[in-house]
Amino acid sequence: MAAFVANPLSLSMSNEAVGAYVRESEALERRRLAEERRRQEGLGRGSGGNGRGRGSNEAPHRYKTPYLTVSDLKKPAKPWREFFASDFLLRSYRVPRSLNEAKQTLDGNVYEFFGNYCTLAFFIACLVLYNKPKALLGGYFLYRVWVWVRSFRDPAESFVYRARHFVATMTSWAVGLYANVSLAASYAILVTAFVVTVHGCTRKRDAPAPDWGRSPRRRDSALGKLRLRE
């Protein structure tokens, strides 16, 4: 302490030095008690003292989809019975009770079933474009145009590179407007986003594994066959 800088063992200290020591000791004790009180209040609020806390030592949820790797993006689709949890539908789906629960469930399902969602997106796009052959042909034509443009290795600052990209961009705009490619693609994206959001938010992360032997659907189908026989 500042009062004992000169000689901590000195018995001939002035009243000013003793007073400084006492004031510093009291200030430190008050600070310690205040910090202890704040810590106890924080623990009381976080540990559910009022019945609504989450717990101060509960780790925040770590979202996985923002950190998907190339290997994650290449994951094959899982079996569709597991994806839809069709053997135990009533036990596998639930409306989320909060926005945080919906976000965490969607994050986990997208990470787990990314291959299935990509396959669904492809089929939805095919269904949307099935009745729009002009948009389908226009989209394929634009795909081939940009594959051709990117096959060249010209420097990005060269005139030929910029001229080729300008022509390809103008062509894309013209073909897209004529064939309604953008409208069809936007519709497919909206439908895909809706399906992924609904399934990803409502499918439980701990849904039962497929088991046709214990599935209620098997019992119902067996009862149906018995009724038909009767």
Give pLDDT tens digits for 136-185.
788 888 888 989 888 888 888 888 889 999 999 999 888 888 888 778 88
Total domains in the fold of the chain: 2
The predicted structure's pLDDT at residue 35: 81
Is 54 within the bounds of a domain?
A: no
Statement: residue 41 has pLDDT above 60: yes
The predicted structure's pLDDT at residue 113: 92
CB of 107 within 8 A of CB of 65? yes
The predicted structure's pLDDT at residue 91: 85
Average pLDDT, the chain: 78
Statement: residue 224 has pLDDT above 60: no
Higher pLDDT, 201 or 157: 201
Domain match, 13 and 85 both = no
Nearest in space to 118 (alpha carbons), one of 78, 150, 152, 147? 78
Domain of 74, in residue numbers: 65-132+180-229
C-alpha to C-alpha distance for 93 and 187, rounded to whole angstroms: 27
The predicted structure's pLDDT at residue 102: 92
The predicted structure's pLDDT at residue 15: 67
Domain match, 127 and 69 both = yes
* Mean pLDDT, residues 101-126: 90
DSSP assignment letter at 207: P
Domain match, 192 and 120 both = yes
Domain match, 100 and 25 both = no
Domain match, 79 and 31 both = no
The size of the chain, in residues, is: 230
Domain match, 11 and 113 both = no
Is 25 within the bounds of a domain?
A: yes
Domain match, 102 and 213 both = yes
The reported pTM is 0.58
Domain match, 210 and 112 both = yes
* Mean pLDDT, residues 112-116: 91
Domain match, 186 and 96 both = yes
Domain match, 111 and 188 both = yes
Largest CA distance in the chain: 112
Nearest in space to 124 (alpha carbons), one of 189, 203, 179, 197? 189
Statement: residue 68 has pLDDT above 60: yes
Provide the percentage of residues in the chain whose pLDDT is more than 70. 75
Distant-in-sequence, close-in-space partners of 184: CB < 8 Å, separation ≥ 6: 128, 129, 132, 135, 136, 139
Per the DSSP assignment, residues forming a β-bridge with 203 are: 93
Domain match, 123 and 189 both = yes
The predicted structure's pLDDT at residue 110: 92
